[in-house]
Structure 1
Amino acid sequence: MKRIYTTLLAVLFVVGTASAAFVAPPAATATDILTNPDLVEMFAADGKQVTMDDFLAMTPRSIREKTGERLGLKKAITLKMAQRAIKKQIRKEKKAGAPAAGGDKNQLVALLLAIFIGGLGIHSFYMGKTLKGIAQILLLLTSWLIVPGIALFAWILYDIITIAIGSQEPKDGSWNPEL
């Protein structure tokens, strides 16, 4: 059993370091990524200018259908990392340009969900934090044990306080504070 764990750890380490070596660090802005001649040459057919929507919609399969050549692992990882960097930059620009109030998620609704059915993690799902909500449900399922029950209670109490004071926001930043 020890040999299996050691092998698994070694494989994860090698894959992690190999994927980090393949991926170039993302550029500073979405425009820099789209105007990067290496990326345009790598993914655009015949050196055409690529729009942001076209670039975000690209997949290795769609590139193979257009160009006839198959992307290697390095190029596929570079494509996905560049798309992720652009999406992250777009979210930052939206959040910076968006007004502080007037979003589609209501702070009072999130607080009431946390108070009344916080153990189910519904308030986390409401705020777009799916993994956190799943973790709270799993903790609820094991809360018949003493330690997870205390941990779930503390987590819910923390969520109630942070939602009430406004320091916990939805994942997409679309917060409509009403408290």
Structure 2
Amino acid sequence: MSETSQMIYCRACGKQLHISATSCPGCGATQVPPSASDKRILPAMLLCFFFGFLGVHRFYVGKIGTGILQLLTFGGLGIWAFIDFIMIVVSAFTDAEGNKITQWT
């Protein structure tokens, strides 16, 4: 891969930076890796903990179809919601596009 193909633009200020940069050297904004979701773990975890039996956390990440299924089955009688909760906490949960939710806040 050439050096120019490994460059991206800062999500906040637009400055060009390397794809592996975790924050922008110009403005300090945290950069999300291309394969990571812009959704956050903390809200998904709280929604799953308090409203997991209603599938609210799945609506939050854009998984509308499975959110409706969890709503109708009360989170798979709690088992499905519990598994989702564990997956969210260990950063293995994905959003609707298949990107992992990796950032806490």
Task: Provide the rounded CA distance (Å) in 2 between the counterparts of 1:104 and 1:126.
Answer: 11
| Aligned length in residues | 73
3-state SS in 2 of match to 1:105: coil
Unpaired segments ≥5 residues, structure 2: 1-31
* Among 43, 54, 59, the residue aligned to 1:109: 43
3-state SS in 2 of match to 1:163: helix
Q: Which has the higher contact order (CA 8 A, sep 6+)?
A: 2
| Counterpart residue identity of residue 131, structure 1 | G
- Name the structure 2 match of 1:156: 81
Unpaired segments ≥5 residues, structure 1: 1-97, 141-148
Runs of 4+ deviating beyond 4 Å: 100-103
Q: From the two aligned structures, give the one with the greater helix fraction.
A: 1
1:152 deviates by 2.1
RMSD: 2.5
Task: Provide the rounded CA distance (Å) in 2 between the counterparts of 1:139 and 1:106.
Answer: 25
- Name the structure 2 match of 1:124: 58
Task: Provide the rounded CA distance (Å) in 2 between the counterparts of 1:177 and 1:161.
Answer: 15
Q: 1:132 to 1:102 in 2, by over 3 A?
A: closer
- Name the structure 1 match of 2:19: none
Task: Provide the rounded CA distance (Å) in 2 between the counterparts of 1:166 and 1:100.
Answer: 16
Task: Provide the rounded CA distance (Å) in 2 between the counterparts of 1:167 and 1:126.
Answer: 16
Task: Provide the rounded CA distance (Å) in 2 between the counterparts of 1:163 and 1:100.
Answer: 19
State percent identity of aligned pairs. Answer: 36
| Counterpart residue identity of residue 83, structure 2 | Y
Q: Which has the larger radius of gyration?
A: 1
| Counterpart residue identity of residue 167, structure 1 | A
- Name the structure 1 match of 2:16: none
